[in-house]
């Protein structure tokens, strides 16, 4: 079952963000706290959204299997919003049950229902299992684009210059 995240999901989502960082070989990169996540998702004007996948085992116990964390984008070319999927994660022991596909189908459904024109995300070039999975859904790489980032001292330096 896929459903919108609730405040009581924050500890599980935060834990899975740490698991994702481990998998992506960046375990020390996560500095966000549960409170940061709670504020971003459930504060007065949230700009970030999340859905969770629930898995009911043979013992009828339901557990959080994974999550999708996303936000709206805007395309000046289409004149419409889209969705940027920031993180998609399914716990390793629950992969193969369709949760990742269900989470992506849910986001695609949101796009279709709201008239959003794009569902986009990034994937590490070495993550072959994820790339194969995304290709099986019909996604295409944007080969001519390179993701750029400005953070740390470079961000502070540029942000300190008056335009």
Which tokens is 69 given?
A: 């964390």
Burial of 58 (0-12, 13-18, 19+ CB in 10 A): exposed
For residue range 43-60, list pLDDT tens digits in order: 999 999 999 999 988 888
Nearest to 26 by CA among 17, 34, 38, 35: 17
Torsion sign across C-alpha atoms 108, 121, 125, 1 = negative
Residue 162: per-residue pLDDT = 81
Which residues, given as ranges, of the chain have pLDDT below 50?
none
Residue 119: per-residue pLDDT = 97
Residues carrying an active site annotation: 134
Nearest to 95 by CA among 63, 69, 139, 65: 65
Determine if the pTM surpasses 0.85.
Answer: yes
């Amino acid at each position: 079952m896929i459903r919108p995240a609730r405040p009581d999901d924050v500890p599980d989502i935060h834990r899975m963000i740490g698991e994702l960082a481990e998998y992506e070989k960046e375990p020390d990169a996560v500095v966000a706290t549960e409170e940061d996540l709670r504020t971003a998702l459930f504060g007065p004007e949230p700009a970030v959204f999340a859905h969770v996948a629930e898995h009911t085992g043979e013992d009828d116990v339901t557990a959080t299997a994974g999550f999708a964390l996303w936000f709206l984008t805007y395309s000046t070319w289409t004149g419409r919003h889209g969705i940027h999927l920031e993180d998609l994660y399914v716990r390793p022991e629950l992969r193969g049950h369709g949760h990742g596909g269900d989470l992506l189908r849910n986001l695609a459904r949101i796009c279709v229902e709201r008239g959003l024109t794009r569902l986009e995300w990034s994937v590490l070039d070495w993550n072959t299992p994820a790339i194969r999975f995304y290709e099986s859904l019909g996604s295409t790489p944007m080969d001519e684009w390179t993701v750029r980032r400005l953070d740390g001292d470079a961000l502070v330096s540029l942000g300190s210059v008056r335009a």
